[in-house]
Amino acid sequence: MAPPFLSPSLSYLSLWASGVILAIVFLKLFHLLLRRHKLAKAMDNFPGPPTHWLFGHALEIQKTGSLDKMVSWAHQFPYAFPLWVGPFIGFLNIYEPDYAKAVYSRGDPKAPDVYSFLLQWTGKGLLVLDGSKWFQHRKLLTPGFHYDVLKPYVAVFTSSANAMLDKWEEKARENKSFDIFCDVGHMALDSLMKCTFGKGDSGLSYRDSSYYQTVADLTLLVQQRVDSFQYHNDFIYWLTPHGRRFLRACQAAHDHTDHVIRNRKAVLQDKKEQEKIQHRRHLDFLDILLGARDESGIKLSDADLRAEVDTFMFEGHDTTTSGISWFLYCMALYPEHQQRCREEAREILGDQDSFKWDDLGKMTYLTMCIKECFRLYPPVPQVYRQLSKPVDFVDGRSLPAGSLISLHIYALHRNSAVWPDPEVFDPLRFSPENASGRHPFAFMPFSAGPRNCIGQQFAMNEMKVVTALCLLRFEFSLDPSQLPIKLPQLVLRSKNGIHLHLKSLRPESGK
């Protein structure tokens, strides 16, 4: 215990401390209010839906059906409207090609207000990096997606897909609909691990499938945090049960990626393996990361390395899972297109037993259907930026530097000025004749401009191989009692999964 003569100074101290804390809280609040004022003032010329003083539009955003609510607001307010998540974060929400072009043709940084929620998980990987470090990493990793690297992946996609389809053969025999989303997810993770992280031929281990669950949890928590202003402050968030769950899930994800890195490093210790790699003409993603040196010969730091592995491990499977699952749903919804894609695939396959690289370019109808499905069900429905310099829009309105932008890809793809009868599924919109006249920023499933998706080609190849194989093996139809409910969760998911009926097309599988 402190001697009695000290106690007056101790109580002074606590008085001081509370004074300082109060001042900090006050300053923080002042800072936030100033920011709210600035963001709101910048968007003065943009009318929008009514805003709750505290929640902004958060209550509507959190509701089921929020994506279509945005579309109806977009109808009401041409070009753009302010979108508030709580009292302090206001975006200009845009969904018109010229508006998208004004911002996305430049390389403005990602909005830290949203992307910082990923930091604990993905670190500063390509997705969240900005400036010269982003440029350096992008240049470094681009050769990992060269078509000579992608070519052999066709066989990997085929084997992962076939493993899933064999499993479905059994499920289909039960003559009940089932949720395909999770199986597609495991398949996509399996092929990603084989393609970019050099995993051997074995299927997914227990460790991998628990990683899959962890990512589902992490995306749910990040989306919830974006949509709930009371969770925006780090200090408060880490104290909540959700915040602690998020930290635990990050730890679990890192355990998985560390394991992948350690394994590869162990392989590299082996002299023979080293020689093999030197003789390979094209390195895979992890080879590139581990071999990377900057101008002064310094390796990527362990933190940078893990950030990229965490980023690609997530971006590389969750997006294609959403794409493939919603595509199969579209095929179930439109049996006539399903049949046409199947016939095309049969014709291309002929009497070969699997697809080759050159076949991918021949899948023209399937590709049009995939694009039309990306239009209506974009795997990444919304992306955010912060303006580094002012921007002038086509209609004469403008925004100052520092403003926050939300590009609503989902609403952009349903903009009726560009897409007549937007709700109609019509693959012919993407016939070469029809597509060539269209605004280059009208269709942005992979974003566009310098910060577009680096894995675009990888993703399209995987989509084509996997969906063609699915259609050759099964007929897909809806389960009217369990239609999917769209749910944005960083990627587009379904609240109740995607339940489909599968009918095997194999003659030998006795019904």
Ligand X SMILES: *[C@@H]1O[C@H](CO)[C@@H](O)[C@H](O)[C@H]1NC(C)=O
User: Contact positions toward ligand X, by CB under 6 A?
Assistant: 175, 426, 428-429, 431, 433-434, 511
| 108: DSSP letter | P
**80 versus 118: smaller Cβ distance to ligand HEM:** 118
Residue 464 tokens read as 């084509």
Least spacing, CB of residue 320 vs ligand HEM, in Å: 5
Separation of alpha carbons 27 and 252, rounded Å: 37
Contact 347, 492 (CB under 8 A): no
**11 versus 175: smaller Cβ distance to ligand X:** 175
Least spacing, CB of residue 114 vs ligand HEM, in Å: 9
Residue 376 contact partner, candidates ligand X, ligand HEM, none, CB within 5 to 8 A by sort of partner? none
Neighbour order of strands in the sheet with 178-179: 178-179, 499-504, 474-478
**172 versus 375: smaller Cβ distance to ligand HEM:** 375
Beta bridge partners of 299: 293
Separation of alpha carbons 51 and 165, rounded Å: 48
Q: How far is CA 267 from CA 199, 282, 295, 377, in A?
A: 11, 18, 26, 40
Contact 406, 424 (CB under 8 A): no
Nearest of 150, 159, 216 to residue 187 by alpha carbon:
159
Residue 186 contact partner, candidates ligand HEM, ligand X, none, CB within 5 to 8 A by sort of partner? none
Residue 345 tokens read as 């695939």
Note the Cα 347 to chain centre separation in Å: 33
Residues that bind ligand HEM (CB under 6 A): 110, 126-127, 138, 311-312, 315-316, 319-320, 323, 379-380, 383, 445-447, 451, 453-455, 458-459
453 known ligand binder:
yes
Note the Cα 153 to chain centre separation in Å: 21
Residue 426 contact partner, candidates ligand HEM, ligand X, none, CB within 5 to 8 A by sort of partner? ligand X
**38 versus 151: smaller Cβ distance to ligand HEM:** 151
**13 versus 483: smaller Cβ distance to ligand X:** 483
Residue 429 contact partner, candidates ligand X, ligand HEM, none, CB within 5 to 8 A by sort of partner? ligand X
Least spacing, CB of residue 471 vs ligand X, in Å: 21
**320 versus 367: smaller Cβ distance to ligand HEM:** 320
CB atoms within 10 A of CB 18: 10
379 three-state secondary structure: coil
Residue 459 contact partner, candidates ligand X, ligand HEM, none, CB within 5 to 8 A by sort of partner? ligand HEM
Residue 175 contact partner, candidates ligand HEM, ligand X, none, CB within 5 to 8 A by sort of partner? ligand X
Least spacing, CB of residue 464 vs ligand X, in Å: 20
Least spacing, CB of residue 508 vs ligand HEM, in Å: 34
Residue 419 contact partner, candidates ligand HEM, ligand X, none, CB within 5 to 8 A by sort of partner? none
Separation of alpha carbons 46 and 80, rounded Å: 7
Least spacing, CB of residue 436 vs ligand HEM, in Å: 22
Instruction: Return the amino acid letter for 414.
Output: R
**175 versus 398: smaller Cβ distance to ligand X:** 175
Contact 491, 315 (CB under 8 A): no
Binding residues: 453
Binding residues for heme: 453
